[in-house]
Amino acid sequence: MVKAYLGVDVGSVSTNMVVMDENEQVLESLYIRTMGQPVKAVQSGLKTLGERIGNSVTIEGVGTTGSARTLTAVLVGADAVKNEITAHAVAVSRKVPGAQTIIEIGGQDSKIIIMRDGIVIDFAMNTVCAAGTGSFLDQQAVRLNIPIEDFGELALKAKTPVRIAGRCAVFAESDMIHKQQLGHSTEDIIAGLCEALVRNYLNNVGKGKEILAPIVFQGGVAANIGIKAAFEKALKQELTIPEHYDVMGAVGCCYLGREAARNKPTGFKGWEAAQFHFRPTSFECKGCPNLCEVIQIFENDVLVARWGDRCGKWSNVNVKVG
């Protein structure tokens, strides 16, 4: 039986899962659309992984990250629960030693992480503007009737990229339509969009940051070679895209889970947790003016976790776990 570790990264757009062995080799990885249902997405992932490798590995540690990391930790029985910055930094420090800058662009947000000697010294996130994210690129690909997989290749064929206003998703789209009406080629418009989105990223997320090589580009958008080329043109530096660029947060969680469960039993609930009945509910605590929204999770009708209160009145109450 192979000893392995499970990493789970649940965001608003995608749910990523990775199983990594003791030799730091990724045995399995999954990319699932969250579709606003993180519980369903995580359980679907557990079911798929259980069917693929459940009988050949024993999970020794589990880590979770992403916007739904606390919820996910309850669902799977995590040993480590960390934010995305930590998870991505850990993954890059192990997979791309010496990296000094991480550019990460996902479905709904983007971030930059500045590292020196393997330690995070600065970072910034953009969760407000959709311009430059994977979902925005998907929308434009649909509008142009072009498969998103072909988006980057078309951008590289451009002869004279047009200048697109990329500071806002709404302005970018209206400007693209205007350029189409003027008769510019699709290739030039797509290349212009890629360059506009890179300018938007560098002027907002990367503003004031010392971007030094080696630079790692990851997240789902890293698959778009047009965006990669636009970054390299703007930065005058080559970008490194790691092997598991689209699930690096989950890869980092494998390392975090391994460290957290060292010399003690893991809290992993097993692949059978895919069949458990989880029911999340919430209520507003009226104990003080904060009016905290308290989240609580029932597992097979048993209360197993609460969080969301600032004072600990509810979350510190002992509940049945696992």
Model pTM score: 0.85
265 and 297: one domain? no
Last residue of a domain, one of 193, 225, 241: 241
Tokens of 302: 């048993």
115 and 29: one domain? no
Tokens of 15: 């749910």
109 and 170: one domain? yes
Say how far apart CA 110 and CA 231 lie, in whole Å.
14
* DSSP E strands, the chain: 2-10, 14-21, 26-33, 57-65, 80-81, 101-105, 110-116, 119-126, 215-218, 239-240, 278-284, 293-299, 302-307
**Per-residue pLDDT tens for 240-282?**
999 999 999 999 999 999 999 998 999 999 999 999 999 989 9
CA angle 221, 118, 132 (to 5 degrees): 20
228 and 102: one domain? yes
Q: What percent of the chain has pLDDT over 90?
A: 57
Scan for tokens 């990460």, then name that residue: 104
Q: State the pLDDT at residue 322.
A: 39
CATH code of the domain containing 112: 3.30.420.40
Say how far apart CA 8 and CA 68 lie, in whole Å.
10
Pick from 119, 75, 125, 83: which is nearest to 100 by CA?
119
Q: Determine which of 179-183, 244-248, 317-321 has the lowest per-residue pLDDT on average.
A: 317-321
213 and 272: one domain? no
Q: State the pLDDT at residue 148.
A: 76
Boundaries of domain holding 318: 278-322
83 and 181: one domain? no
In terms of average pLDDT, the best of 193-197, 240-244, 297-301, 304-308 is 240-244
Which of the pair, 20 or 138, is modelled with greater confidence? 20
Domain count of the chain?
A: 3
Q: State the pLDDT at residue 321.
A: 44
207 and 309: one domain? no
Which of the pair, 167 or 36, is modelled with greater confidence? 36
58 and 132: one domain? no
Pick from 203, 15, 6, 35: which is nearest to 124 by CA?
203
Q: State the pLDDT at residue 129.
A: 61
Tokens of 117: 């000697």
Residues sharing a CB contact under 8 Å with residue 1, sequence separation 6 or more, in sequence order: 56, 57, 58
197 and 302: one domain? no
Last residue of a domain, one of 241, 266, 288: 241
Q: Is the model's pLDDT at 125 over the cut of 50?
A: yes
Q: State the pLDDT at residue 79.
A: 97
Q: Is the model's pLDDT at 319 over the cut of 70?
A: no
214 and 124: one domain? yes
User: Mean pLDDT throughout 109-125?
Assistant: 93
Q: State the pLDDT at residue 127.
A: 58
Phi/psi of residue 83, nearest 5 degrees? -75, 170
Tokens of 171: 């302005």
Say how far apart CA 80 and CA 2 lie, in whole Å.
21
Which of the pair, 259 or 54, is modelled with greater confidence? 259
272 and 283: one domain? no
73 and 39: one domain? yes
Residues sharing a CB contact under 8 Å with residue 273, sequence separation 6 or more, in sequence order: 43, 46, 75, 76, 77
106 — pLDDT class (breaks 50, 70, 90): confident
